[in-house]
Homo-oligomer: A and B are copies of this chain.
Amino acid sequence: MRPRCRIALLGFGHVGFAVAYRLATPDAVPGLELTHIFDRRATLKRHAHGELRVTWTHSIEEVLRADIDIVVEVLGGMEPATQWIEAALAAGKSVVTANKQVIAREGLRLQRLAARQGRQLRFEAAVGGAMPIVRAIVDGLAGDRITAIAAILNGTTNAVLSRIETSGCTLEQALDEARSSGYAEADPSADLDGDDARAKLAILCGLAFGVAVDPEHIEGRSCASITSADFERAREQGGTIRQIARASYEHRSRVLTASVTPAVVSSSTIFARASGPANAAIITGEHSGDTGMFGAGAGGDATAVAIVSDLVAIARDRAAVVPAPQLTSDFTLHTSDFVPRTSNFDFVEAV
């Protein structure tokens, strides 16, 4: 019997809660043992969740000193998450994170640190929720050369847009519903404006094309002013509106074209069919053509599936080699010719 992987959880919000209860249930995942939960309000939460047999702490130093194999980071935001992931890797722990902002901006540096340490940094949960798009690109389609990605990467915005589509309500009403379903933050601007999707798209550009692109350099247009009248016009064109993250890469000339915008998508696409907090993606390869995927893109349970999958991978092979990607900054970023200026929305071809 191999010893179980001892796990510390940093953060006990929506996702942390789901991960903790997945690991603590009677038919919990074999090989995994949750031993520590860090939370700023550890004392309060310990009382509310007495059934979780773990050490609660509000000291990150206690976690870093503890006999822990894997640190799960679900704090969100750049700091202190980046610093603590770095400290965990430096302390010889593997790290699983759902943090797209950290991976988009500091992922390469942290992956190199993990590789030097002989540890693993995994982040399936950072993009696509339960839809395993990171593995699809890094492993499943590793044998192809990927040339384009089109995707719905923000579950909150998709829940809002698909709600306006079916009910004709206002964006504000749709947001209220998404908030009460637990899919939207009090301040939804990072979702609607595309900051969240741009960070995720930047991660995918690194994985698929080997380019290091700053999320803020990716063209973005907000979905915040979409109204039911826009949906009416889209319907007349045979489609509907979704927030679409797109990138294509011309390997020879090293030209990256990338954007996150509201787009009119044909009713026959998987994008139009993605409703509620779903995510969807089409990955185009030189040899395989289009490979598509869709799945639950938001919510604690879906994100927890991706995190637990990463934990299972580490428990299965603690010495697995997860090489840091070789990313180039020597490329040109295009946006303008990709998004036609003549129309407010873009038409994504049927798949």
* Interface positions of A (Cβ within 8 A of B): 22, 29, 124, 129-132, 135-136, 139-144, 268, 270, 273, 285, 287-296, 301-302, 304-313, 316-317, 319-321, 323, 351
A143-B29 in contact (CB<8A): yes
Closest B residue to A307 by beta carbon equals B143
Query: A341–B274 Cα gap in the complex (Å)?
Result: 33
B285 near A305: Cβ-Cβ < 8 Å = yes
The verdict on A139 contacting B273 (CB below 8 Å), with A130-B144, A290-B295, A302-B288 known, is no
List B contacts of A140 (CB < 8 A): 124, 132, 135-136, 306, 309
Q: How far is the CA of A296 from the CA of B140 in the complex (A)?
A: 13
- Across-interface contacts of A141 in B (CB, < 8 A): 130, 132, 305, 309
Contact of A296 with B301 in the complex, beta carbons under 8 Å: no
**Contact between chains at A292 and B295 (CB < 8 Å):** yes
5 nearest A-B residue pairs (beta carbon): A132-B140, A143-B308, A143-B309, A130-B288, A291-B295
Instruction: Using known A-B contacts A136-B135, A139-B309, determine if residue A292 contacts B293 with beta carbons closer than 8 Å.
Output: yes
Shortest Cβ distance from residue A179 to the other chain B in the assembled complex, whole angstroms: 21
Residue of B nearest to A133 (CB): B140
Shortest Cβ gap from A322 to chain B (Å): 8
Task: State whether A130 and B285 are in contact (beta carbons under 8 Å apart), knowing that A140-B135, A142-B313, A143-B29 are contacts in the complex.
Answer: yes
- Chain B nearest CB from A306 CB (Å) reads 7
A307 to B291, CA, bound (A): 16
Nearest CB of chain B from residue A283's CB, rounded to whole Å: 9
Q: Which residues of B contact A135 (CB under 8 A)?
A: 132, 135-136, 139-140
- In the complex formed, the residue of B with least CB distance to A269 is B273
Report A29 CB to chain B, min CB distance, Å.
Answer: 7
Q: Is the CB of A287 within 8 A of B313?
A: no
When the two chains form their complex, are residues A144 and B320 in contact, meaning their CB atoms are under 8 A apart?
Answer: no
Q: Assess the A291–B131 pair: CB atoms within 8 A.
A: yes
